[in-house]
Amino acid sequence: MSAPRPTRAGWILALVFASGAVALVLELSAVRLLAPWFGATSAVWTHVIGVILLALACGYLLGARLARGSTPLRSLAIVLWLAAASTAWLPACAAPVARWFVPQGLALDEAADVLRWGSLAAALLLFAPPTFVIGCVAPLASEWLERVGGSSAGEAGGRVLGLSTLGSLCGSFATTYWLIPELGLTRTYLACALLLGALALLASLQARRAGAELALSLVLAAALFGSRWQRPAPVAGEHVLEELETAYQSARVVEREDGMRFLQVNEGFDSFQSAWQREPGLLPDGYYYNTFALPAAWEPGRTGVWRTLVLGLGGGSAWRVIEGTLADGRTLEGDGVEIDARVVELAERHMDLRESPGRRVFAGLDGRTALAAPGAGYDQLIVDAYANQVEIPPQLATLEFFEAAARKLRPGGWISANVGGFGLADPVALALARTAARALGARVLLLCVPFSRNLALVARVGEPLPEPGSAAFLGIAHAGLARLASQVSLPGTWRFVEPDAEPVLTDDHVPIERLQERSLELAAQARR
């Protein structure tokens, strides 16, 4: 066995570092690749992480077997070529694989089982192969260090694990803050494949062999030219104005033939984040934003400025709807909080979102954090924050959140929240309403949004809510809002939820994912 040669050990440690980085890039970007078809829920994250851990574990064991062979360096070269080629083809394979499980035109409530099992199967087909072969790298590199570099087994293993983990650390930060926002998904995968290919070439040169390597390099080269990620096309009659990758999601603005624009994130299912039409005011039937304009209309005696705090501003739809329905002499002011700063940029370019002296936009801030900031006395707090398309962020659903929200409001101020759900008995909606009722010490109102599967939660601090169908509820000057109030006054389209002794959602225990799963199951049962 040759004596230790630090310079020869250096390149293999660099290789280990790079493969560790690529493993994390694959893991963190995997959900982004699947999100247009399966969403980016906690379940999808769990499946992707689980598949990658399983594949890595199997890869480590296979690498251990290969390390017993006479040419570990050649094995290393081949697994790196395989990793490069399989990574490079990921963008091109994502759409066909996903479509194999999720047919077009499926609504969210039809998709519960497809989401659960399809996302797992898609993750297996797409991400198990590259991570399996990447898993082989560490044991093969350790073996080579031990044989050629002269290290002991423990020393070689420790150095490989340390460098691999540091690579993963760098890969995780680079994915979120640079690769995906700057390069997008396709070029991120191709860059990873190129890096793995370069390392494979280096290993092949060191091993002085070329056979299967040549064929694999051709597969890689073909992928570099031909592998492109196909996002789902907009539905007929819509065209894309702009699309980009943000640190949180794929985002795009589409325009319909009638001029309406929609901000969509991850483009999955039948959801959108914001809607825009040329003139401020009520949107057509079916848009829950219209319900945000009701509280101002229920206080006709209040004049001057109507101050709002919007958590989950998106493209600013809530502001445009309220602005267009306020009575003469009243003006809209307030603060809007949006966690994704690039969504705000899109909205500024395509949805007339503007700051003004009385209206401030806080981009890049979480809604819960914003509640801790100074400032209070708002007339209305609007919660329109959805994460991963279908999930209410847990930190915006708890008793502590609603208590903090109440402190931001003037006496008699209003809380309006958009809640995705399936009817007035929906487990998520009920849990949220019960929690808000407990926090405020008063009953809250759930309204079924007409022509929609959304529910609107309405609560008030220190004063009673108007009862649907009553003169206070229906006596609205604005004709469109009066019509909406009348629509949501029919029996079976509203309910009060009283504060009671039932368990509520707290920061300590907020099983929102479980409730959302239950909600989808009940919706699926109702369909049968």
**Cβ 426 to another protein shortest distance, Å:** 12
* 238 vs 285 by CB, closer to another protein: 285
Q: How far is CA 256 from CA 227, 283, 314, 319, 450, in A?
A: 30, 14, 19, 21, 21
**3-class DSSP string for 282-322:** CCCCCCHHHHHHHHHHCCCCCCEEEEEEEECCCCCHHHHHH
Could you list the residues that contact another protein (CB under 8 A)? Answer: 54, 57-58, 61-62, 64-65, 68, 100-107, 109-111, 113-114, 117-118, 120-122, 124-125, 128, 285-286, 423, 448-452, 469, 474, 479, 482-483, 486-487, 489-493, 527-528
**What's the gap between Cα 74 and its chain centre?**
41
Going by their DSSP bridges, the two strands 359-363 and 378-383 should be labelled as unpaired
- Output the CA torsion sign for 382, 386, 392, 395: negative
* 1 vs 471 by CB, closer to another protein: 471
Measure the CA–CA gap between 160 and 142, rounded to whole angstroms: 6
Measure the CA–CA gap between 295 and 474, rounded to whole angstroms: 12
Q: What are the residues whose beta carbons fall under 8 Å from the beta carbon of 104, sequence distance 6 or more?
A: none
**Cβ 62 to another protein shortest distance, Å:** 7
The rounded radius of gyration (Å) of the Cα atoms in the chain is: 27
Single out the residue of 428, 396, 414 nearest to residue 516, CA to CA.
Answer: 428
> Within 10 A of 179 (CB to CB), how many other CB atoms are there?
22
* 63 vs 312 by CB, closer to another protein: 63
Measure the CA–CA gap between 314 and 246, rounded to whole angstroms: 13
Going by their DSSP bridges, the two strands 409-420 and 378-383 should be labelled as parallel
Measure the CA–CA gap between 226 and 443, rounded to whole angstroms: 59
SS3 517: helix
* 122 vs 353 by CB, closer to another protein: 122
> Within 10 A of 202 (CB to CB), how many other CB atoms are there?
17
**Cβ 489 to another protein shortest distance, Å:** 5
* 342 vs 478 by CB, closer to another protein: 478
* 417 vs 449 by CB, closer to another protein: 449
**What's the gap between Cα 149 and its chain centre?**
45
**Cβ 475 to another protein shortest distance, Å:** 12
**Cβ 486 to another protein shortest distance, Å:** 4
* 63 vs 280 by CB, closer to another protein: 63
**Cβ 487 to another protein shortest distance, Å:** 4
Residues in the chain: 528
**Cβ 385 to another protein shortest distance, Å:** 24
Q: What are phi and psi of 485, to 5 degrees?
A: -60, -40
**Cβ 110 to another protein shortest distance, Å:** 6
**Cβ 469 to another protein shortest distance, Å:** 6
Under a CB-based contact definition with an 8 Å cutoff, are residues 359 and 332 in contact?
yes
**Local structure of residue 183 (DSSP, 8 states):** I
* 110 vs 400 by CB, closer to another protein: 110
**Cβ 528 to another protein shortest distance, Å:** 7
* 106 vs 404 by CB, closer to another protein: 106
Tokens 């609205």 locate to 476
* 54 vs 169 by CB, closer to another protein: 54
